[in-house]
A and B are shown apart, each in its own frame.
Chain A
Amino acid sequence: MTMELVCPAGSPAALTAALEQGADAIYLGLRNPTNARAFPGLNFAPENLRLAVDAAHARGKKIYLALNTYPTSDQMALWKSSIDIAAEAGVDALIMAEMSLLDYAIRHHPGIPRHLSVQGSATSPAALRFFHEQFGISRAVLPRVLSLSQVERVCEKSPVGIEVFAFGSLCIMVEGRCQLSSFVTGRSPNCHGVCSPAEYVHWEELPGGRRRVRLGEVLIDEFDAGESASYPTVCKGRYRAGDTPFYALEEPTSLNTLELLPRLAQAGVVALKIEGRQRGPAYVGSVTRVWREALDTLERKEGFVVRPQWQEALAHVAEGHQTTLGPYHRSWH
């Protein structure tokens, strides 16, 4: 079975790039806090969502809507009305994590497939059974924590198709279980759809070309002149345990699983997700092109070899210009 290539779009231009370069499905968010990339200037107003669905359907491709944040009791109307908007626009699936929203969707729009978001933190067949039995999900996106052999075993026993992250920025924490951003800023991926939001980021220029970056009051990192500086998410800062500051949690790198493609296909993974709704059309276009080519190559069954130009193109757009196999590779743990 061919694995579906699911690509991100935070804007109509990114959507066009993904469609032109061969995405099978594109996932989007509405322009409100109902999704985990609720960044200023990003995402789709309801009328743009309808246009996006039309554009994708005209090419025989699909649109999935991410509604994967967690509303508190007094916010539920916005999330539910967003589900209604998605249904009206004719999206092909809803990507959700929150139980009451899954429940709402199955009751009010049972015809729209429900995918469990990575934010649902489901890492075992038992957790997947829970969402399948309770809310009839048809697919689940696994958190970026399992090793490849664990992914293989989950695929064997899962009641639903499994989608995994193939490329992009690497959340090293179990998604849906990380409060590092809210600890410092009060704003979290779970509740606000943001991580280390830009309005809390302060750069300081120091003598000699050194730079410091803070999130709120907290010093996340300091860079030498000419050292490439990354976005200050808490998990990618340098801290001290002894004398020398080090990346205590993770280096600024991107996940890249190109070389695992044959094993992911063999495991029965049904879809590959490219991270990056916050990235521009150039990123979306070049990453989609590489993965389309790779998947088509795999499909021809003529022996799959990762081409150097693919890796070059991906490294060029990767965070920190470095890539890693991340949790799929046991040594990462």
Chain B
Amino acid sequence: MDNNNDNILSVKNVSKLYGPDKNKAIEMKKSGTNKDLIHKKTGVTIALWDVNLDVKKGEIFVIIGLSGSGKSTLIRCLNMLNKPSSGEILYEGKNIRKFNKKELNEFRRNKISMVFQQFGLMSHRNIIGNVEYGLEVKGMSKEDRHRKAKEMIGLVGLEGHEYEPISSLSGGMMQRVGIARALANDPDILLMDEPFSALDPLVKKDMQFELLTIQKKLDKTIVFITHDINEAFKLGDRVAIMKDGEVIQIDTPEEMSTNPATDYVRDFIDGADKTQVISVRNMMVTPNSIVRKKDNLSYAIRMMRSNGVSSAYVVSQKMKLEGIVTIDDALRANKDGQTISDVLISDIMTTTPDTLLSDILPMAAEARFPIAVIDDDGSIKGIISKAQVLSSII
């Protein structure tokens, strides 16, 4: 076994079948019969088939697929709400399928918790009553669990609402309660089953942002289910794509979008908004007219003319970007005997290589020159033109 220490969860050869004659179905599946035919012949539904994946400690692992692809079944196997028909699920090397009732409850109480699509909140309890539920069942004293619950309610931005009934909350607030409840147990792993798909787009965006913030702060491992490729690529460190109960590809968003394993994956990704996936690094080009600040203007003019561009980037030592000169300014100043510094436009737009294209969209729309890409110490890494940014939307 390749028990990599980084892996907090490992799913090995997990299958889940529903129905009467499972052995027959397994045989048919092994001989390559398709899922619908198997169901028709044997009445067996194959919900999961030979799923293998590893979740690394501290990452956001996204599982994406259409409805019926088995993603909800899979996430429920991770805390044994669904029991796999075969295979192993290892948590820190221990097979959770072998847990007895008590061990399973301990695991659920302390190590793993879950956030639900329809929130799964108990309407007969108020906010704090919901948040402290997991602490209550493990027998924490009322005082302690109240304190902890309040802390979590604060974390998700609901302080002051502790004693409000669930029915008075908006969807976004309800899911904040759901997240607070899941965090209250201080679990290692957070399972999130399409947590934001019931929310309207604006609220969804806020929640995604907040989830990232919380994850950074608390350093939880998150297994996140979604059917929204944009959400998957935005949140996921790694993404697994599922179809008909099987995992087709597991990769980073960028790798997946550049190297889709199958046509299915490609089609799936085509639905994605690439600006959400692709960072500036992938699209930037090396600027072909760079001049140093101490160069004379005629050199800069010659450079621009030979490259057929109307502006040049001005750098100082170690390629530190100082600004830009345009060809018009350069020609005029050259006549007047001025230097580059006199016509340097230092107030220009910049971005970093890791910025997502989607984030520089507004900037690109206004840009008069290509946007300069600089790294942390200010040195120029490349440029990205308005046209390049806008074309990625299409």
Do A and B associate with each other? no
Q: Using CB atoms and an 8 Å cutoff, list the residues of chain A in contact with chain B.
A: none
Q: Using CB atoms and an 8 Å cutoff, list the residues of chain B in contact with chain A.
A: none
